[in-house]
């Protein structure tokens, strides 16, 4: 059978030979609707062969699942709510300054005290201020925070959310100060 199929296809089965230097030719359209691309060696539809090959590969893979990739652990359960919460906590404790800067930005933006002309450098400096607050909190053992020297919502004047209006002070002092300059 195989030998018989090795014989080149008869011309009436081949509409043309656009692929001179390949193992393929354009022949009779495949009944499965894959077009007329066929192998010169066995006249078979290229797409049909690919599908068959893929199916065989899949069957082989399913027959011995242990041989590839990480072994599947059937006992593994999806993470519980506690685990997810723990992961999130870990993420934010690693990115504390980022979170603090984000919150401050949001607060400033809400009352429109963050100028649009801030550069990337300025934004980086704001994040640095929040980093410093965390560092001091750890060093001193009591909470520090980033404060606006001129409050964003002052009674007489309103400051901007810009690096040169920031200072890192103990939280207790900041709360005492309130919104007065
Ligand atoms: Zn086909």
For residue 45, report the distance from its CA to the centre of ligand 1, in Å.
Answer: 5
pLDDT exceeds cutoff 90 at 114: no
pLDDT for the residue numbered 43? 82
Q: Which residue has the higher pLDDT, 6 or 177?
A: 177
**How far apart are the CA of 68 and the centre of ligand 1, in A?**
30
- What confidence tier does 47 reach under pLDDT thresholds 50, 70, 90? very high
What is the whole-number distance in angstroms between the Cα of residue 81 and the centre of ligand 1? 49
Averaged pLDDT score across all residues of the chain? 80
Rounded distance from Cα 47 to ligand 1 centre (Å): 5
Lowest pLDDT segment from 19-33, 46-60, 92-106, 146-160? 19-33
- Given a cut of 80, whether residue 97 has pLDDT beyond it is yes
Which pLDDT score is estimated for 3? 46
| Cα 61 to averaged position of ligand 1 atoms, centre (Å) | 24
**What's the 33 CA to ligand 1 centre distance in angstroms?**
6
Q: Which residues of 111-120 are buried (b: 16+ CB within 10 A; e: fewer)?
A: eebbeeebee
The pLDDT of 35-57, averaged and rounded, is 89
pLDDT in tens, 156-167: 888 889 999 999
Task: Check the CA dihedral 160-165-170-175 and report its sign.
Answer: negative
Q: What's the gap in Å between 7 CA and the centre of ligand 1? A: 20
Instruction: Give the containing element (helix H, strand E) for 122.
Output: helix 120-140
Q: Which of 4-18, 97-111, 132-146 has the lowest mean pLDDT?
A: 4-18
Task: Give the 3-state secondary structure of residue 164.
Answer: helix
Domain boundaries, the chain: 11-68, 103-177
For the entire predicted model, the pTM comes to: 0.45
Ordered alpha helix ranges (H), 17-80: 46-63
Q: How confident is the model at residue 4 (pLDDT cuts 50, 70, 90)?
A: very low
On whether the CB atoms of residues 130 and 104 are closer than 8 A, the answer is: yes
Sorting pLDDT into bands at 50, 70 and 90, what band is 121? very high
Mean pLDDT check: name the lowest of 108-112, 114-118, 131-135: 108-112
Long-range contacts of the stretch 94-98 (C-beta < 8 A, 24+): 96/130, 96/134, 97/127, 97/128, 97/130, 97/131, 97/133, 97/134, 98/127, 98/130
């Amino acid at each position: 059978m195989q030998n018989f199929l090795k014989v080149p296809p008869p011309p009436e089965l081949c509409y043309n030979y656009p692929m001179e230097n390949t193992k393929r030719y354009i022949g009779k359209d495949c009944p499965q609707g894959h077009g007329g691309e066929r192998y010169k060696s066995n006249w078979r539809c290229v797409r049909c062969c690919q599908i068959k090959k893929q199916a065989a590969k899949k069957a082989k893979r399913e027959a011995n699942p242990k041989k590839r990739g990480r072994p599947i652990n059937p006992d593994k359960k999806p993470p519980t709510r506690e685990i997810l919460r723990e992961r999130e906590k870990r993420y934010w404790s690693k990115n504390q300054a980022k979170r603090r800067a984000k919150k401050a930005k949001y607060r400033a933006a809400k009352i429109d005290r963050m100028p649009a002309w801030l550069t990337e450098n300025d934004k980086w400096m704001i994040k640095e201020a929040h980093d410093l607050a965390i560092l001091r909190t750890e060093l001193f053992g009591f909470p520090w925070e980033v404060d606006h020297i001129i409050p964003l919502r002052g009674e007489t004047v309103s400051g901007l959310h810009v690096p040169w209006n920031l200072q890192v002070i103990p939280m207790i002092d900041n709360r005492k100060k309130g919104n007065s300059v």
